[in-house]
Chains A and B, each alone.
Chain A
Amino acid sequence: MLRSDARISPLARSLLRGAPALTAAGLAPASLIQHRGRLVSRRSRSGRTIATILSSVGSRYDHPVPETASVLLICVGAATGLVGSLLGIGGGVLLVPLLTLMLGVPIRAAIAASLISVIASASASSTVNLDRGFVNLRLGMVLEVFTALGGRGGALVASQLTQRQLFVVFGVALLAMGLLTMRRSGRRNVIPDTTLDPGVLGGRLTEGGVEYVYRVKRLPLAFGASLVAGAISGLLGVGGGIVKVPVLNTLCGVPIRIAAATSAFMIGVTAASSVFIYYRLGHVDLRVSAAVALGALPASLLGARLSHRVEARSLKVLMALILLAVGGRMTMQAL
């Protein structure tokens, strides 16, 4: 039995609007095709949209979750969790395409598993980052408000754009951030004068036995980035760190280690604000989610510990390369 559009959940409605974008991003599995501007099941003659499939009773996915070996899923979760915790991006931006395109996991199960993996990665890496004093709690708390609001209201903004507009804007923005991050990879955001007041949201960082001060600049830009990050989180199953970290580091004057650690601290909450809706709708595949989360937990602890040893410039270059790859792919597929 299918519900009418008027009765579908807000998440389902937002996915109905954003569903074609999933195809454009290569996030939708092959069994979902474009039909009259909507994402429909290849096997569905009635042209059921992803929203109606989401709301349907008795049939959770358009195709069954493949019996992929748990060990493989754990390895995939570990790889994305490691990169995610190194850079404070959670790894969802890499995990969703890997699960859908490489392992054939249905898109809703992949998004839900990604959100759970992001929570695992964020929680694990935050235990290390808090211990090292890399998390800026004050900045994180303020930006969390905007991220959580973005998660709630972002789908409404996204629904006003066509799939092409949405992905060209997002893809070009990532490409621009990638180029800017690469260009400024040698630039430091820290000030060696420790007598300087860092302000309410700034802070201090000790590297190689030397204490530095940093100040947060262009705060409205950080608020905007957090809103956008929250908006894309629920739709694409990512934590939003891929937007927040480069903006905080490149444009707002926050050192890369602080930006990554503070982002990792926030993205757990960002993912949590969306994942309960997926859980309530029955889209969490327990085995897939458990396996990727189990891989992400130890790998994220390792990544957070390694990040201390990796040079700030190397972290920025890695972030720039991921931004360019994801942004390029989204832009090319949308054009």
Chain B
Amino acid sequence: VRHRLLQLEGLIEATLTAGILVSAALLVAGLGLARESALRLGIVLLMLTPVARVVILTVGLLLRRDWRFGLTSLVVLLILASGL
């Protein structure tokens, strides 16, 4: 279990890094240039970043046949999806 999770940690880290970097660039552009569209896109991307990491964790665990934690993560994803 630990080995499988360690493999996924790198992928989750990359997803979070990409999410915050792209969002930050859009927010800086939006504030600096007073562009509402850039601000809105930056905020929405930031809001979706934790959802993306739950999706990756769920898919990654299910693909690795880690049913116990994969299904646990799927429940979290379903609860999140109900609020979208």
A-B contacts at CB below 8 angstroms, number: 116
Residue from B13, B43, B69, B76 in contact with A293 in the complex, judged by beta carbons closer than 8 Å: B43
Q: Please name the residue on chain A nearest to B84 by beta carbon.
A: A276
A127 adjacent to B83 (CB under 8 Å): no
Chain B interface extent, by class? 35 or more
CA A142 – CA B68 in complex, angstroms? 10
Q: How many residues of A contact B (CB 8 A)?
A: 42
* Cβ contacts under 8 Å, B27 to chain A: 290, 293-294
Decide if the interface of chain B is mainly helix, strand, loop or mixed: helix
Task: Tell yes or no: A200 within 8 A of B by CB.
Answer: yes
Decide if A137 touches B9 in the complex (CB within 8 Å).
yes
Cβ-based interface call for A305 (8 A): no
CA distance A268 to B15 in the complex (A): 13
Residues of B16-37 whose CB lies within 8 A of A: 16-17, 19-20, 23-24, 27-28, 30-31, 36
Q: For the complex formed, measure the closest distance between the CB of B78 and the CB atoms of chain A, giving whole angstroms.
A: 9
When distances are taken between beta carbons in the complex, the residues of chain A under 8 Å from B47 are 116, 119, 272, 275-276, 279
Give the residues in chain A near B63, CB-CB below 8 Å: none
A274 to B50, CA, bound (A): 12
Alpha-carbon distance between A269 and B49 when the two chains are bound, in angstroms: 9
Q: Digit string of A270-291 for contact with B (CB within 8 Å is 1, else 0)? A: 0111111101000010110111
Other than the given A119-B46, A120-B23, A286-B30, 20 more pairs (CB < 8 A) read: A70-B31, A116-B46, A120-B46, A123-B19, A123-B20, A130-B9, A138-B69, A145-B79, A151-B79, A152-B79, A200-B1, A268-B49, A269-B50, A269-B54, A273-B79, A274-B83, A275-B47, A287-B39, A290-B43, A293-B43
